[in-house]
Structure 1
Amino acid sequence: MPIPSYPKNESQRLVELEQLQLLDNASDPNFDTITRLAASICNVPVALISLVSENKQWFKSKIGWDICETDREVSFCAHAILHPENITHVPDSRLDERFKDNPLISAEFPVIFYAGVPLLTPTGEALGTLCVIDKVPRELNQIQLNSLKDLATQVENLFELRRNNIRLVEIEKLLNAKNEQLKTFAGVISHDMKMPLANMIITTDILKAKYASQFDDQGNEYLAYLKQSSFSLSDYIDNLLSYYESEDLTIQNLEFFELNHLIEDLIDLLNISDDYIINLPEKNLELQTNRSAVSQILINLITNSLKYNDKETGLIEFKCTEDHAFYYIQVRDNGKGISKDKQDSIFELFSTASQTDNKGRKGNGIGLSTVRNLVKSLGGIITVNSDGISGTTFDFTIKKVLS
């Protein structure tokens, strides 16, 4: 019995096989469906998806076959992968020089008939075969051979889907690790920079209080600019930390609370001046969801309405409705509005609407990205609508957690 030789691309073939992580793991119903179809179409008792490793052949899927693996030396499939572009069709292995002394011919279930289609990677390495077996001589007709080839193509497609899924899992792990590093970095920045910034602000106030008379107008403008810049950087750090913390808030942390009462608490917290009209939802709905997440969403949206309102009398109007699956919350203001060409990007991190607030400062593009993360964590979506001149409306949903 001649021992099957190794393909010329054996090293790369084994690398490709290892990357698929298919050896010695559980059966997969997707593969089992294909072997069942192969056995039925070819009218044989056995169909296998075999993978040829360095020393063994291992069966990823098997119909009518109890053996999990065999030595590569006796493997019919090890011969088949030497001809990756062709079907190895053996009507009677007892008459074939490659197999007539093979111990599988005299096994409890003798491999007399064999037909195997090599399973190829996109770069041409044969990892194994889709094969059909019988214990009596037979031949497949052209329809059966073509069908076996088609089924082998589907196995190859499943291999590639698996390969892509493995890559995606690896990318997800890498991104999660990077994200954790950024969270840690944001926390360190918040801790290590907040105190120096506070000292800069206090020192600026002291300099202005004690030495303002000794500075000329330009010197006092520099002090004011230094203080404003310190506050801007402090806000930036706070927003960046809130953005990364927002990913830890989930819909599963449930509380019952009335939305109108929450909005009233936020109005008191933000100390909104009397030159604003605040309209609460007509119906005070009781929500069951993550209260902290909803608070952060509303704080960001209300703060934006305050910062970018150029009207003599500001307006912030809230609406809330519900159905069996979602809460629907709307926040509308009569501020500067957001231009149409910016509305698709304002939820992206560090993207801004190129506007300046009431103090002449440009946004950092973190707040609305945080809002989007929070809404997503609550199983909802958020949209914006504005004519770009006067007023902006944010609509977001919160998925109900059904008990």
Structure 2
Amino acid sequence: MIIPSLPSNEQERQIAVQEYGLLDTLPEKDFDIITSLVATICEVPVALVTLLDTDRNFLKSHFGIPINQSPRNTSFCGHAILDPSEIFLVEDAEQDERFFDNPVVTEQGMKFYAGVPLINKDGFALGTLCIFDKKPRTLTKKQKEALKGLAHQVMNLFEERRRNNTMQQLQIELENRNEELKSFAGVISHDMKMPLSNMIITADILKAKYGNELDEKGHEYLSYLKSSSFTLSNYISGLLAHYESDKITTDHKDVFDIHHLLEEIVDLLNINVDCEINFPEKNIDINCNRSALEQILLNLIGNSLKYNDKDEILIDIECYNKNGLYHFSLTDNGMGIPKEKQKEIFTLFSTVGNVDRNGNKGHGIGLSTVQKLINKLGGDISVSSKLGVGTTFEFTIAALIS
């Protein structure tokens, strides 16, 4: 028996084999179909998809034998990957000095072997698609073509696996970086809240203690300092709410009626303008994450109040349960959203550009948080709007089963 030598590029070849992530994996239907098919076409009892590891021949698919690996130093495939021809053929192993006393021949009774090296785009032979028979024989031209064609399909499956592995790794890296970014944003936001509060308080103290000594410009500067601090504080609060929305568990259940929730939200908003809010005609019980829905409605109703230029603000809210989903709509008579901006408003940091009724610009965080929460609750949100007339938000959330 002649032990197969190692390729001159064995170290690089081994790295290539590892990149596909196929060693020691379970059988897969796609590969098993190919070995079954090639065994039928070539009329042999054994067909294999192999990968040559450091000291073993791993059988990714094994038709006709129960094992999933064998020693590399006795493998026919170890010779096949060294052969530059398209098919490595051993028509009668008992008459071949390389194999006549090989355990595969003397113990398992194999006499015939044909293997097509599985060569990747970088030129590394990873393993083989091969067949065995217990009698000396040869292959027809059609059988050889079929064996080569199916080996090509095996290599396609290998490449697909590598691409999937690469995409999964990239996804993991992106998720890790996203978590790091969220953690960083959370820490920075928390750390900035206290200095901003101090700035607001200091502005009030300066105005109270030294107000008589300041001219009109001085009072204007203090007001600007306080207003800017409040704006930045609200921006940071929005960021915190956006990132902390990830912590909301979708399966947390609360049962409550929608009218009661809306009454609490109206109280929280402390509305000081002429406003009429019409609740859903029918008061229904809701079974979902209460805090998440409260944050969604607080944001949407708050926007309807802020971005409204009418003397009397009108807000109509509808809610009903259908096919396991709660359907909500919230319509106002506000400023409206330009058509070209309606697709962008749920993107983080995207703003319409309007100032609210108090002259402040939005930060583009609230609606992104709303969409994130709604998606997390198994629903979706859409918007329709007409400038100068008003806006309607429609969204759904999944009803939890008690």
TM (norm. structure 2) is: 0.92
Query: Which residue in 2 is equivalent to 1:43?
Result: 43
Query: Which residue in 1 is equivalent to 2:76?
Result: 76
Cα distance per residue 1:97-130 (max 9 Å; x no partner): 54344332112x2222222222233333221112
Report if the CA contact (8 A) 2:186-2:243 is conserved.
Answer: no
1:264–1:160 CA distance, 2 compared to 1 (3 A):
farther
Between 1:216-225 and 1:373-382, the stretch displaced more is 216-225
Query: Which residue in 1 is equivalent to 2:182?
Result: 183
CA distance in 2, matches of 1:302, 1:225: 28
Query: Which residue in 2 is equivalent to 1:92?
Result: 92
Cα distance per residue 1:179-214 (max 9 Å; x no partner): 332333233234322221111101111212232332
Answering whether residue 15 of structure 2 is matched by residue 15 of structure 1, we say: yes
Report if the CA contact (8 A) 1:84-1:120 is conserved.
Answer: no
CA distance in 1, matches of 2:137, 2:36: 19
Query: Which residue in 1 is equivalent to 2:378?
Result: 379
Report if the CA contact (8 A) 1:189-1:237 is conserved.
Answer: no
- Note the C-alpha offset of 1:51: 0.5
Report 1:3-402 matches (<5 A): 3-83=3-83, 86-96=86-96, 98-107=98-107, 109-402=108-401
Q: Which stretches in structure 1 are left out of the alignment for 5+ residues?
A: none
Is the partner of 1:161 in helix, strand or coil? Answer: helix
1:269–1:39 CA distance, 2 compared to 1 (3 A):
same
Is the partner of 2:67 in helix, strand or coil? Answer: coil
Is the partner of 2:308 in helix, strand or coil? Answer: coil
Report if the CA contact (8 A) 1:183-1:241 is conserved.
Answer: no
Cα distance per residue 1:40-76 (max 9 Å; x no partner): 3333221211100122211122121123322222221
1:72–1:257 CA distance, 2 compared to 1 (3 A):
same
CA distance in 1, matches of 2:119, 2:359: 63
Is the partner of 1:247 in helix, strand or coil? Answer: helix
1:3–1:173 CA distance, 2 compared to 1 (3 A):
same
- Note the C-alpha offset of 1:384: 1.6
Is the partner of 1:183 in helix, strand or coil? Answer: helix
Cα distance per residue 1:130-162 (max 9 Å; x no partner): 222221223333443333334333332332332
CA distance in 1, matches of 2:101, 2:63: 25
Cα distance per residue 1:6-46 (max 9 Å; x no partner): 33443332112112222223333333233223323333221
- Note the C-alpha offset of 1:267: 1.0
CA distance in 2, matches of 1:240, 1:353: 18
CA distance in 2, matches of 1:128, 1:120: 8
- Note the C-alpha offset of 1:228: 1.0
CA distance in 2, matches of 1:194, 1:25: 51
CA distance in 2, matches of 1:265, 1:382: 23
- Note the C-alpha offset of 1:235: 0.9
Between 1:17-26 and 1:142-151, the stretch displaced more is 142-151
CA distance in 1, matches of 2:361, 2:14: 56
CA distance in 2, matches of 1:365, 1:173: 27
Between 1:375-384 and 1:89-98, the stretch displaced more is 89-98
Is the partner of 2:319 in helix, strand or coil? Answer: strand
Between 1:229-238 and 1:112-121, the stretch displaced more is 112-121
CA distance in 2, matches of 1:81, 1:360: 74
RMSD: 2.2
Report if the CA contact (8 A) 1:321-1:328 is conserved.
Answer: yes
Report if the CA contact (8 A) 2:287-2:401 is conserved.
Answer: no
CA distance in 2, matches of 1:142, 1:273: 89
CA distance in 1, matches of 2:225, 2:336: 30
Identity of aligned residues (%): 52
CA distance in 1, matches of 2:392, 2:346: 14
Q: Which stretches in structure 2 are left out of the alignment for 5+ residues?
A: none
